[in-house]
């Protein structure tokens, strides 16, 4: 099925970019592992030449992503960070980005610890606020960069407002919507020029792929990214592309399932006496809830985060150990897997930030992110309650300890 059709999202998930193999009739996508291609006619450029440049399985995935995004042109890379890197490689020394304050730690690492040395600068402000953006805008500011929901605190950025700010300032609008795949947020509805996705999360969703994509409506950028695929070679392998194509087919079902389960778990944790705050856009007290309802369909995803009442590291370790011994909750990086994953941003996704940066974002040692998997939510609640009971039996010191286990 071609990318430009009016079928519904679930239909596109299954069929877009694909057709039965004309040779055999196989309906699973054709996995073409070849490195190089025979070029039939001397002096005539063939469509397929060398898989670092273009590969048929990768092309299926790219077409599918274009259909799901509802437009634009897609290029896929070896990880979400590689996708971000490829975008940044299209900028020039002296260019500046205006970024939302809370971002995935790896993105901040790329901005501050790599691209700064090449003359690319990031300013961090409220990108929904025209005055704040104008206050840092210079004649070298080229784009606004935002996430929504943000990692790790699930902040909701009003993409409509950012689109208005981008229009008013003449800046390009780049959105990392890893936490809001197109099953929930139409990436181009708010004026974004370019969308970045980590495919390692919801798109693949089975804990077995690292990948990333850039989908853009900017033809010049797309052409440069295709050139970078070929020249830099940080491409996604055909095997990984094959997996994402297949795993994408269940994205709609997976998203609804994990969103419903995360809502149940979030509501339970919100009432728990050992937890002072739960961050989840589906909760009534979330400051971005009304915006989230407008810009996210079918639920709010698997990820929620929370602050423990206790900052006692000894007890926090016991809490984590208890969840590990339950064998239901994995303690580790990342999100959007069949398995529920508990992450500790201060020592994981945001460890390369300075203590000051983490403190500004409220990423303390007692702050955790939970990615709810496909398990029964009641089983998860049971093991979470058992782990949280560790704090009941101890006289808890209520203080916030600034990321002392990090680094
Ligand atoms: C918002 C966001 N963008 C990008 C990335 C990087 O993706 P990857 O792990 O595929 O490199 C992540 C990873 O967690 C993320 O959360």
Task: Give the closest residue (by CA) to ligand 1 atom 6.
Answer: 80
Q: Cα-Cα-Cα-Cα dihedral of 185, 214, 242, 301, to 10°?
A: -30
Pick the CATH number of 251-392 from 3.90.1150.10, 3.30.70.100, 2.40.110.10, 3.40.50.10090: 3.90.1150.10
Q: Which of 153, 181, 200 most suits a substitution to test ligand 1, by most atoms within 8 Å of the C-beta? A: 200
| Nearest ligand 1 atom, CA 333 | 14
Per residue in 75-85, pLDDT tens? Answer: 999 999 999 99
Block residue for tokens 């460890």: 351
Residue nearest (by alpha carbon) to ligand 1 atom 16? 104
What confidence tier does 5 reach under pLDDT thresholds 50, 70, 90? Answer: confident
Confidence tier at 204 by pLDDT (50, 70, 90): very high
Distance between CA atoms of residues 340 and 57, nearest Å:
30
Pocket of ligand 1 (CB under 6 A): 79-81, 104, 106-107, 147, 151, 176, 178-179, 198, 200, 210, 212, 334, 349
Whether residue 390 is predicted with pLDDT greater than 60 in this model: the reply is: yes
Q: Kindly report, residue by residue over 95-106, the tens digit of the pLDDT.
A: 999 999 999 999
Rounded mean pLDDT, 235-250:
98
* Pairing outcome for strands 303-308 and 212-216: unpaired
- The Cα 391–Cα 346 span in angstroms is 20
What value does the mean pLDDT take over residues 50-70? Answer: 97
pLDDT at 213 over 60: yes
How many percent of the chain have pLDDT more than 90? 95
**pLDDT on residue 394:** 60
As assigned by CATH, the class of the 9-248 domain is: alpha beta
Of the pLDDT bands very low, low, confident and very high (cuts 50, 70, 90), residue 318 is: very high
On the question of pLDDT at 405 being above 50, the answer is no
Looking at the CA of residue 150, tell me the nearest atom of ligand 1.
1
Protein residue whose Cα sits closest to atom 9 of ligand 1: 80
Residue 371 alpha carbon to ligand 1 centre in Å: 14
Mean pLDDT value of segment 13-20: 95
Q: Is the pLDDT of residue 140 over 50?
A: yes
Give the per-residue pLDDT at 398.
46
Domain ranges of the chain: 9-248, 251-392
Mutate to test the pocket of ligand 1, among 187, 198, 236, 348 (most ligand atoms within 8 A of CB): 198
């Amino acid at each position: 099925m071609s990318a430009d059709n009016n079928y519904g999202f679930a239909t596109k998930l299954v069929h877009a970019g694909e057709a039965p193999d004309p040779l055999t009739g196989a309906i699973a996508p054709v996995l073409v592992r070849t490195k190089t291609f025979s070029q039939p006619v001397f002096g005539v450029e063939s469509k397929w030449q060398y898989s670092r440049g273009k590969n048929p399985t990768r092309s299926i995935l790219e077409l599918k992503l274009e259909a799901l995004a509802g437009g634009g042109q897609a290029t896929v890379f070896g990880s979400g960070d590689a996708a971000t890197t490829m975008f940044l490689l299209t900028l020039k020394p002296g260019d500046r980005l205006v970024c939302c304050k809370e971002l995935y730690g790896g993105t901040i690492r790329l901005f501050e610890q790599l691209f700064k040395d090449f003359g690319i600068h990031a300013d961090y402000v409220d990108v929904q606020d025209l005055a704040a953006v104008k206050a840092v805008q210079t004649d070298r500011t080229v784009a606004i960069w935002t996430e929504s929901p943000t990692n790790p605190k699930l902040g909701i950025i009003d993409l409509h407002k950012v689109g208005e700010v981008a229009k008013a300032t003449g800046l390009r609008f780049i959105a990392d919507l890893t936490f809001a795949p197109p099953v929930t947020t139409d990436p181009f509805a708010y004026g974004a020029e370019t969308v970045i996705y980590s495919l390692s999360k919801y798109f693949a969703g089975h804990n077995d792929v690292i990948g990333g994509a850039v989908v853009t409506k900017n033809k010049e950028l797309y052409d440069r990214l295709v050139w970078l695929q070929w020249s830099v070679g940080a491409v996604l392998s055909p095997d990984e592309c094959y997996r994402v194509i297949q795993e994408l087919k269940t994205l709609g079902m997976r998203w609804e399932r994990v969103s419903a389960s995360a809502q149940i778990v979030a509501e339970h944790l919100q009432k728990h006496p050992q937890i002072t705050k739960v961050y989840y856009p589906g909760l009534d007290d979330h400051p971005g809830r009304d915006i989230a309802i407008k810009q996210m369909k079918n639920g709010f995803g698997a990820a929620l985060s929370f602050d423990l009442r206790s900052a006692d590291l000894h007890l926090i370790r016991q809490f984590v150990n208890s969840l590990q011994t339950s064998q239901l909750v994995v303690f580790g990086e990342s999100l959007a897997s069949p398995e529920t994953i508990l992450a500790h941003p201060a020592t994981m996704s945001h460890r390369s930030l300075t203590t000051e940066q983490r403190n500004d974002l409220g990423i303390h040692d007692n702050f955790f992110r939970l990615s709810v998997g496909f398990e029964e939510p009641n089983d998860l609640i049971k093991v979470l309650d058992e782990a949280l009971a560790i704090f009941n039996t101890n006289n808890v010191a209520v203080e916030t300890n600034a990321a002392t286990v990090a680094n």
